[in-house]
């Protein structure tokens, strides 16, 4: 179960070379142990004085120490390397998640990103730590020991050589089935993660519509699907381990029986028989070790493949964005005469759900456009496309009749998006408001905060604007978090385009109407795209686009 992608990890080739040297050293030490100990035991059995076999005992002790040191060095190298790679992968996932050129959580499933950064990293670390020495051990420990076995007693060597391809055959046969079941288990795990995270995000809405029990049954069905897939995978992996152990045990038993018969008829010496018998279990040890961690290797292989694939897609997107930024040196501006046209734009998520297809419309100047539709109609997807967080899979986007990449830094500098749940960083309230303008003075921050209705919050905080808020500090309500997001935009004079992705969906109507008084003034003199399912916002819009099942059902201008 060796993943070739693992060889692309930094420093892996050097680690494999070190493991190869240590494996050969272990093979030599094991062979030295077996020959010296068997010679010493046979001489003592014949009545030789202990003093005459001290050299053999000393040789055994040296080989034993060398073997333990080689194994300790192997474990140390792998522990340190796997830990470094786990830290590196974790850092890359986080960097890609918060890199505005990539926004990993926008292009990949948020649940997949979260589980990869948590459980997936641990499984990949375990895989990196256990698989390379097992693969190398089967080649550079077992095969040299087989050669030594042939040199000591060729009939025993023949038995071991015959058993090896038998074991490899069962490994391939059972490994293929185990891999398929492990992949199905990983898919079930991903589906459950996505479903559970979606449920958490929409918990308020589910409670409002009394649909929490129905969703609970749905999550339970997904968890049962994962449980059954896990049990089937464990059963197959356990069977695989049992078969490999059985083959190894039969091989050792066959060697022992043949040596017993030959010792009785005197065709083999005691020292030779003991050495051949001692080498047999060591010959099968790497195979049995591999079998014991078979299931862990399957989980780790799938996790590592998913993480590397996700990071590879993120790297390609980052390179494309960087190339686009270097190619587009001219800054983008948005004025009353500007137009942004979508022509046959489509986007589909990996799970095949939601998304949009065939969108064709034009945004003009400083108009305010409402995007309405049922849940799952594609409102959020369209908002993220305009904001540049998603890239169209099909179609063309034209800015003032010229093709434009909305994922470019030039466009994102002009756009600000307010999602359903604005993020409040663990920082002072002032630093949270300064998000787009880090050089703003405290007086400017205070003016922006009071203009959006945060005066009462600022006055009640113990240190005013310098109070630490966010996770692990002073918490903010949903309405207060949205006011912080509005204050960020009010403080920022570069934002020509505002995208609101159902910003009030989780708020009660009283809080929403109060917040609305602060939001409407910010929309003046800007292009506004407002995705919502609350229809009272339409009265303040210039145009309405209705989405159904990812397509534009109708489009009409407000009188």
Statement: residue 545 has pLDDT above 60: yes
Distance CA 382, CA 356 (A): 7
Q: Compute the CA torsion angle 117, 123, 128, 130 (nearest 10 deg).
A: 160
345 and 314 housed in the same domain:
no
Distance CA 377, CA 533 (A): 11
375 and 466 housed in the same domain:
yes
Count CB atoms within 10 A of the CB of residue 271: 19
Among 34-43, 245-254, 331-340, top mean pLDDT goes to 34-43
Pick 172 or 407 by higher pLDDT. 407
Domain edge (last residue) among 255, 284, 318:
318
383 and 420 housed in the same domain:
yes
428 and 309 housed in the same domain:
no
Q: Do the domain assignments include residue 476? A: yes
Listed in sequence order, the residues at least 6 apart from 435 whose beta carbon sits closer than 8 Å to its beta carbon are 425, 488
Q: Tens of pLDDT along 421-474?
A: 788 888 888 888 888 888 888 888 888 888 888 888 888 888 888 888 877 778
Q: Do the domain assignments include residue 10? A: no
Q: Do the domain assignments include residue 435? A: yes
| Distance linking the first and last C-alpha atoms of the chain | 66
- Residue 342 pairs in a beta bridge with 361, 397
CATH of the domain at 231: 1.20.1560.10
Q: Tens of pLDDT along 162-211?
A: 887 787 777 667 666 666 777 677 777 777 777 777 677 666 666 766 77
Q: Tens of pLDDT along 391-406?
A: 888 888 888 888 888 8
For residue 313, the enclosing domain spans: 82-318
Which of 478, 487, 493 shows the shortest CA–CA distance to 526? 493
Mean pLDDT of the chain: 82
Give the tokens for residue 76.
């140390």
- Characterise 558 by phi-psi region: left (phi > 0), alpha (psi -120 to 50), beta (else): beta
Range in 7-21, 45-59, 187-201, 524-538 the model is least confident about:
187-201
224 and 285 housed in the same domain:
yes
355 and 486 housed in the same domain:
yes
241 and 295 housed in the same domain:
yes
Listed in sequence order, the residues at least 6 apart from 27 whose beta carbon sits closer than 8 Å to its beta carbon are 140, 141, 144, 145
Question: Cα angle vertex 182, ends 181, 187, to 5°?
Answer: 95
Average pLDDT over residues 39-62: 88
Q: Compute the CA torsion angle 370, 371, 373, 379 (nearest 10 deg).
A: -150
Q: Tens of pLDDT along 136-154?
A: 888 888 889 989 989 998 9
Average pLDDT over residues 43-59: 86
Calculate the CA 268 to chain-centre distance: 57
Count of domains in the chain? 2
Distance CA 484, CA 435 (A): 10
Q: Do the domain assignments include residue 42? A: no
Distance CA 1, CA 291 (A): 11
What per-residue confidence (pLDDT) applies to 27? 93
Domain edge (last residue) among 268, 288, 318:
318
Pick 408 or 299 by higher pLDDT. 408
Distance CA 486, CA 466 (A): 18
CATH of the domain at 356: 3.40.50.300
Distance CA 489, CA 503 (A): 14
235 and 297 housed in the same domain:
yes
422 and 542 housed in the same domain:
yes
374 and 299 housed in the same domain:
no
Q: Do the domain assignments include residue 19? A: no
Q: Do the domain assignments include residue 58? A: no
Give the tokens for residue 525.
């003199």
Distance CA 45, CA 25 (A): 30
- Residue 403 pairs in a beta bridge with 398
Asked if 287 contacts 138 with a C-beta cutoff of 8 angstroms, the reply is yes
Distance CA 360, CA 429 (A): 41
What per-residue confidence (pLDDT) applies to 327? 46
């Amino acid at each position: 179960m060796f993943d070739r992608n693992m060889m692309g990890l930094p420093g892996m080739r050097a680690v494999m070379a070190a493991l190869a040297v240590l494996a050969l050293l272990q093979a030599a030490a094991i062979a030295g142990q077996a020959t010296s100990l068997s010679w010493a035991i046979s001489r003592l059995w014949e009545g030789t004085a202990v003093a005459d076999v001290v050299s053999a005992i000393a040789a055994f002790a040296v080989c034993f120490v060398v073997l333990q040191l080689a194994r300790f060095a192997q474990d140390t190298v792998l522990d340190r390397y796997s830990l470094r790679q786990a830290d590196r992968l974790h850092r890359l996932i986080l960097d890609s998640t918060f890199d505005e050129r990539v926004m990993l959580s926008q292009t990949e499933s948020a649940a997949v990103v979260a589980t990869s950064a948590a459980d997936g990293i641990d499984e990949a670390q375990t895989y990196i730590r256990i698989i390379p020495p097992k693969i190398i051990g089967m080649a550079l420990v077992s095969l040299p020991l087989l050669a030594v076995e042939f040199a000591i007693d060729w009939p025993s060597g023949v038995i071991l050589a015959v058993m090896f391809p038998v074991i490899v055959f069962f490994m391939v046969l059972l490994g293929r089935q185990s891999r398929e079941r492990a992949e199905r288990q990983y898919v079930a795990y991903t589906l459950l993660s996505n479903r559970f995270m979606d449920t958490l995000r929409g918990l308020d809405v589910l409670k409002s519509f009394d649909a929490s029990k129905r969703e609970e049954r749905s999550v339970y069905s997904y968890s049962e699907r994962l449980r059954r897939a896990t049990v089937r995978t464990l059963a197959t992996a356990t069977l695989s381990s049992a078969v490999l152990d059985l083959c190894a045990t039969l091989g050792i038993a066959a060697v022992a029986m043949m040596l017993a018969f030959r010792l009785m008829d005197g065709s083999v010496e005691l020292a030779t028989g003991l050495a051949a018998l001692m080498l047999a279990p060591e010959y099968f040890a790497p195979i049995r070790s591999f079998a014991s961690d078979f299931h862990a290797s399957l989980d780790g292989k799938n996790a590592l493949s998913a993480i590397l694939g996700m990071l590879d897609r993120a790297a390609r997107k980052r390179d494309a964005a960087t190339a686009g930024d270097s190619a587009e040196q001219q800054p983008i501006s948005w004025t009353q005469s500007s137009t942004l046209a979508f022509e046959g734009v489509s986007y589909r998520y990996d799970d095949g759900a939601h998304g949009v297809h065939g969108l064709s419309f034009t945004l003009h100047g400083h108009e305010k456009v409402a995007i309405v539709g049922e849940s799952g109609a594609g409102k959020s997807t369209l908002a993220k496309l305009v904001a540049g967080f998603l890239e169209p899979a099909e179609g063309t986007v034209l800015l003032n009749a010229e093709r434009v990449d909305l994922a470019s830094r030039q466009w994102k500098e002009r756009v600000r998006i307010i999602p359903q749940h604005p993020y409040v960083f663990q920082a002072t309230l002032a630093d949270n408001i300064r998000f787009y303008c880090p050089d703003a003075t405290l007086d400017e921050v205070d003016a922006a905060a009071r203009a959006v209705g945060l005066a009462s919050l600022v006055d009640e905080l113990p240190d005013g604007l310098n109070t630490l808020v966010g996770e692990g500090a002073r918490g903010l309500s949903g309405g207060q978090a949205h006011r912080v997001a509005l204050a960020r935009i009010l403080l920022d004079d570069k934002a020509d385009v505002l995208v609101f992705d159902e910003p009030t969906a989780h708020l009660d109507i009283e809080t929403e109407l109060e917040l609305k008084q602060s939001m409407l003034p910010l929309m003046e003199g800007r292009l506004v795209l407002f995705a919502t399912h609350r229809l009272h916002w339409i009265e303040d819009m210039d145009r309405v686009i209705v989405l159904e099942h990812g397509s534009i059902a109708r489009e009409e201008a407000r009188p």
